[in-house]
Structure 1
Amino acid sequence: MRLGHRIVFGAAALAVPLAASAQVAPAPPSTLRPDQQAFRALYQEMVETDTSITTGSCTALADKVEGRLKAAGYTDAAITRFAVPDHPKEGGIVVVLPGSSKTLKPMLMIGHIDVVVAKAEDWTRDPYKMVEENGYFYGRGTSDMKAMDAIWVDSMIRFKQSGYTPKRTIKLALTCGEETSWAFNGVKWLAENKPDLIAAEFALNEGGGGRTDGKGRLVIANMHVGEKAAVNYRIEATNPGGHSSAPVRDNAIYELADAIGRIRDYDFPVQMTDTTRAYFRVAGKARGDAMGAAMVKFAADPTDHAAEALLNSDKSYHSMLRTTCVATLLDGGHANNALPQRAGVNINCRIFPGVSSDAVRATLATVVADPRMTVKQVDDRGPAAVPPPLDPKIVGPAEKLLARYYPGVPLAPLMSTGATDGIYLEAIGIPSYGPPGLYGDPDGNGAHGLNERAIVKAVYSGRDYLYDLIKVYAG
């Protein structure tokens, strides 16, 4: 990946000291404007509609979104619903607001409305009830990614209700299947079956945002440009087994546990792209602490092992520097009074751009170092990610608007360590970008984990920022 068009991120903003960075302060609900109250109700409805793959329904949420869009004035001709017979609960919705220009290509906003499964017994609060506490919204999907979904829907409603006619046609696709590698994926289906419906010059997606210092101060804003590839592997140990009253060291579970430990202790080699190098340089200067100094040093010299060691102490930075693989699912044995005949583990890898899945499988086999075990690739999320260019038509407006909403906060390009549905768009020639606007804390705000949360102030200010950004892009 290379930085196109000689864009310099945050050049002017970096002259502002860290103390001038935007402060994050919660807004009491009583001070909400009427339009914010309406948005909050929409956001709450989306969070409180279970869209997990096990107990939820994306189709049910798409029904509610359709009702809101029609109430705002969108006709049946502007709305497309889609699903497939064998996945009736994983349907999605596309809405189009026509533009006045005959020459400008459309823009597309996408958002996945499915969420990671949440087990209520593990949470402090009901995961499918949105609770506002101490400056945060709690609930499954509050940060990944129903805040942005709600902003997209809210913007389309406000555009229609205000009579706004953009120059560039604006499209919104809300889809299911992003949080799994095996269920129906709405963006993949649209790309393969309805490419004209979502055809666009570019897409706005998740993955951008920003990061606070963990104490309420927004330090860096991000433009998501490119991502890793998500691939799953299965490592399996087999054994003749036997009676548990006569145990032996040759035990499939023990052998698998040893292999998992070796994978835990292995770090893939450091890799850098122009995007990640620019991120560490810009974000490091913005921090002004020891970690920031290490980021700047490492951007200049990736062989600086002392700087790398400090970066590795931050889980997100560690992941940005290399391919990562982690055990996520475990199974083994067949009876409580028998030696195990089989034990297996799922290894979820996030593969650095340019590295093949076969090469990662070979590395895992080398790390396991046990010829009795098998290491097999079991699936992936789709085509390899195609990094989009850093187009000044995308970056420039985002950075200019950022200076108005978050004075003194620089914008840095960011390679996502996760995976998004942007890969399916890029495969058909639609570059996907994750804009700034929303932001979170360094700990990840519980996304995919327990007690997921979103910063209240970030949701409201991000709503205003993204609404204005859409209008700038749409002309």
Structure 2
Amino acid sequence: MTPAEIEIAELCSELIRVDTSNYGDGSGPGERVAAEVVMARLAEVGVEATYVESAPTRGNVVTRIEGSDPGLPALLVHGHLDVVPADAADWSVDPFSGEIRDGYIWGRGAVDMKDMDAMMLAVLRQMKTEGRKPRRDIVFAWLADEEAGGEYGAKYLTSKHPELFDGVGNAISEVGGYSLEVDPSLRLYLIETAQKGLAWMRLVADGTAGHGSMLNADNAVTEVAKAVARIGSHEWPLRLTPTVRRFLSEVADAFGLPFDPENPAPVIDAIGPLAKFVGATLHHTANPSMLSAGYKANVIPGQASAVVDGRFLPGLEEDFMATVDELIGPNVRREQLVHDIALETTFDGDLVESMIAALKAEDPSARAVPYCLSGGTDNKTFFADLDIRGFGFVPLRLPADMDFAGMFHGVDERVPVDALQFGTRVLDRLLMTY
């Protein structure tokens, strides 16, 4: 085993044991302690790093490793240190124990994404102790606040310290690079090349306040309720973006299925639990998630509101917003809460070729395919503003029966130790050859 393979499980467990729960309101413990763990582990092998605290306890760590060819664009490898909260009562283990048993590392962040944080550490430590240089500069970044929008992490660094990312052309980060086993002779590795856009919207209706016992033809609650019902029951049409179309075609070919662009359901069914990731990328989505109105049973309020979580496909934002406005009708206004772009890049270039080669060198049965993520990551949100082309690539060779999609923000989150060891080998090979 390589040094990175030997220590990866303990590094991942050590990071999980640091509670970095992000509640989204500033009340969590922050990332400072986890950032200090990263800094200490880097210092052990003589790696100097920059610590940036964007607000009290909101820690970020960035370091640049010099490559042998300074003329090549640098590569950014980044992960986030924060995690979503976990209710210990729901888990079969302490979610912040980092327990290692049955060949898995258990705990909040094991998949999202302290596994990659640990792989970055393990590979960088091995490179440093062995005195190896990558071909190009590599910028490693361990970031705060991704789970709440990146305000204290990627957004802060790219706006206040963009010089940390000078010369970077491409980036790799979370939610890609994992395997889907077709049979023992073929595994598809999904590399994220596209992400849906985000539109969190508040719908507001103003009406005439009055007594609940009287007739009221201008009821704000009724107007919002009708708008919410129309949006919630709307069947968005199938719209296959180039990334999604290619992914479905590749999956159909791998499973020996016909691919009908008008009816991709059989192909989606073939990928099992991963349909949670992919199914929502076949069309826009708009899910009502909050309602607010009134203060007493017999008082008709003068205003009512609702919140809708909208996600639109790359290249189709105008189509999405026009449909939403039509659905809510003339008596309800739409206010923007949070907006983020959709993004799609092509599945080509020297980084893609290097990722494919690194996967196949460690798993001859590997076939890399692009896919679209229904959510969003720091790759899209802020690094794209610096013209950095982002990919989701956390290489993991997974058991065929593992519900990987269910691990994200799920109960009993865990990652196989041997998948992490595989990932360190692939990541090391990628960083040394790209």
CA distance in 1 between partners of 2:184 and 2:83 (Å): 26
Structure-2 residue corresponding to 1:57: 30
Alignment length, in residue pairs? 423
Q: Which amino acid letter does the alignment assign opposite residue 260 of structure 1?
A: V
Q: 1:435 aligns with which of 389, 393, 400?
A: 393
Match of 1:416 among 352, 363, 373: 373
Aligned twin of 2:70: 102
Equivalent in 251, 265, 276 of residue 233 of structure 2: 265
Q: 1:160 — aligned with what?
A: 128
Structural mapping, 1:103-182, within 5 Å: 103-132=71-100, 134-181=102-149
Cα 1:262/1:134, change in 2 over 3 Å: farther
CA contact (8 A) 1:270 1:322 kept: yes
Partner of 1:448: 409
Match of 1:320 in 2: 281
Matched with 1:46 is 15
Letter in 2 for 1:82: V
Shift of 1:391: 3.4
Is residue 2:51 matched to residue 1:81?
yes
Q: Write the distance in 1 (CA, Å) between the matches of 2:310 and 2:185.
A: 32
Q: What one-letter code is carried by the residue in structure 1 that aligns with 2:16?
A: V
1:354 corresponds in structure 2 to 315
Matches within 5 A, 1:173-322: 173-181=141-149, 184-199=151-166, 200-212=168-180, 219-238=187-206, 240=208, 256-288=224-256, 293=257, 296-298=258-260, 302-304=261-263, 314-322=275-283
Whether the 8 Å contact between 2:276 and 2:405 is mirrored in structure 1 is no
Name segments (4+ residues, structure 1) moved above 6 Å: 214-218, 243-251, 308-313
DSSP 3-state at the match of 1:147: helix
Letter paired with 2:13: Q
* Residue 331 (structure 2) pairs with residue 405 (structure 1): no
Q: Tell me, what secondary structure is at the counterpart of 2:73?
A: coil
- Describe the superposition over 1:410-429 as per-residue Cα deviations: whole angstroms up to 9, x where unpaired: 21111222111112222222
Q: Which moved more, 1:315-324 or 1:148-157?
A: 315-324
The answer as to whether partners of 2:196 and 2:343 remain within 8 angstroms in 1 is no
Contact 1:323 1:351 in 2 (8 A): yes
Letter matched to residue 74 of structure 1? V
Structure 1, unaligned runs of 5 or more: 1-31
| 2:255–2:270 CA contact under 8 A, matched in 1 | no
How far the C-alpha of 1:246 sits from its partner, in A, is 8.3
| Cα drift, residue 259 of structure 1 | 3.7
Q: Name the CA distance, whole Å, in 1 between partners of 2:423 and 2:185.
A: 15
Q: Structure 2: how far apart are the matches of 1:456 and 1:428?
A: 35
Q: Which runs of 5+ in 2 are unaligned?
A: none
Contact 2:278–2:373 (Cα < 8 Å) also in 1: no
How far apart are 1:36 and its partner, in Å?
Answer: 3.8
In 1, the alpha carbon distance for the partners of 2:185 and 2:210 equals 59
Secondary structure (helix, strand or coil) at the match of 2:139 reads: strand
Counterpart-to-counterpart distance in 1, 2:184 and 2:234? 34
| CA positional deviation for 1:252 | 5.5
Mapping of 1:350-389 within 5 angstroms?
Answer: 350-356=311-317, 359-369=319-329, 371-381=330-340, 384-389=341-346
Query: What residue is the counterpart of 2:424 in the other structure?
Result: 463
Q: Post-superposition shift, 1:124? A: 4.7
SS at structure 1 position matched to 2:52: strand
| TM-score, length-scaled by structure 2 | 0.85
8 Å contact kept, 2:96–2:107: yes
Equivalent AA in structure 1 for residue 407 of structure 2? G
C-alpha displacement of 1:245: 8.0
Task: Classify 1:120/1:164 alpha carbon distance in 2 versus 1 (closer, same or farther; 3 Å).
Answer: same
Q: What TM-score results when the alignment is normalised by the length of structure 1?
A: 0.78
Letter in 2 for 1:80: T
- 1:173 deviates by 0.9
1:138-166 Cα shifts (integer Å, max 9, x gaps):
32211111111111121111111222122
Partner SS state of residue 146, structure 2 = coil
- What secondary structure sits across from 1:154 in the alignment? helix
> Retained in 1: the 8 A contact 2:42–2:125?
yes
Share of identical aligned residues, percent?
28
Post-superposition offset of 1:69 = 0.7
Q: CA deviation at 1:269?
A: 2.5
- Matched letter for residue 57 of structure 1: G
For 1:170 and 1:72, locate their aligned partners in 2 and report how far apart those are by CA, in whole Å: 17
User: Aligned equivalents of 1:365 and 1:278: distance in 2?
Assistant: 31
Superposed displacement of residue 280, structure 1: 1.0
Q: Which moved more, 1:102-111 or 1:245-254?
A: 245-254
Distance 2:109 2:236 in 1: 31
SS in 2 for 1:297: coil
Change in Cα spacing, 1:34 to 1:274, as seen in structure 2 (3 Å) is closer
TM-superposed CA distance for 1:399, in Å, is: 1.7
Does the 8 Å contact 2:268/2:278 carry over to 1? Answer: no
CA RMSD of aligned residues (A): 3.4
d(CA) in 2 for partners of 1:268, 1:72: 53
Indicate how the Cα distance of structure 1 residues 338 and 44 shifts in structure 2: closer, same or farther if over 3 A, else same: farther
